[in-house]
Amino acid sequence: MDETPRWALPLLFAGQAQKEIQHNEALVVVDALLHGRVESADLSAPPGAPMVGQCWIVAAGASGDWAGQADTVALWTEGGWRFVAPRAGLRVAAADRDHALFFDGTLWRSDAVRGDGVYLDEERVVGPRMAAIAAPSGGGVIDAEARSTLMDILAALRTHGLIAT
């Protein structure tokens, strides 16, 4: 075995010449994936002036230096493009979105927790916090106040997506 099973990081061998090359290559991949961040997952062609260390998820229909690399993580290094095939469970923050992306073993998917709420099957089920519902007061018209409060509670639950409208 000359590479690790999950991320195909190069392994060192006893008596190997220029071990630093293999070691440095492994560190570059670890650096890209550890607490990963991609600039975007929407580009199918390499950006014009990438900075060393920047990453992208290669979109379908890849072209140029990215041809044949759809769904991989493309990392710009001092030596050019490096591509890492995603494994199930890989999660990266996406700079151009308000949420992370994760690879389910087949597809890149949007994370459930996003800036505007929590999603289940791409449908928002919890939204931003709303103002508090006032407690009923008084007591002369209890039925009307109770109905009004219940309607406010139902409206808040619907707005959050917790119950259907």
Whole domain around residue 50: which residue ranges? Answer: 19-109
The answer to whether residue 165 is domain-embedded is: no
Confidence check: pLDDT of 141 > 70:
no
pTM confidence score: 0.69
pLDDT digits (tens, 9 = 90+) for 92-125: 999 999 899 999 999 999 999 998 888 988 888 8
Residue with the two structure tokens 């044949």: 68
Express each pLDDT in 68-101 by its tens digit.
Answer: 999 999 999 888 999 999 999 999 999 999 899 9
Stretch 31-45: mean pLDDT: 88
By the 10 Å C-beta count (0-12 exposed, 13-18 middle, 19+ buried), 116 is classed as exposed
- CA distance readout (Å), 164 to 18, 147, 154, 156, 161: 63, 19, 10, 11, 7
Considering the domain architecture, whether residues 48 and 87 belong to the same structural domain is answered as yes
Of 19-23, 53-57, 90-94, least confident by mean pLDDT is 19-23
Residue positions counted in the chain = 165
Residue 97 DSSP SS3: coil
Listed residues 109, 129, 144: the one ending a domain? 109
Average pLDDT of 129-139?
A: 68
Same domain, 115 and 76: no
60/43 Cα distance (integer angstroms) = 8
What mean pLDDT is reported for the chain?
A: 85
- Residues 84, 123 share a domain: no
Q: Long-range contact list for 116-121, CB < 8 A, 24+ apart?
A: 117/160, 117/161
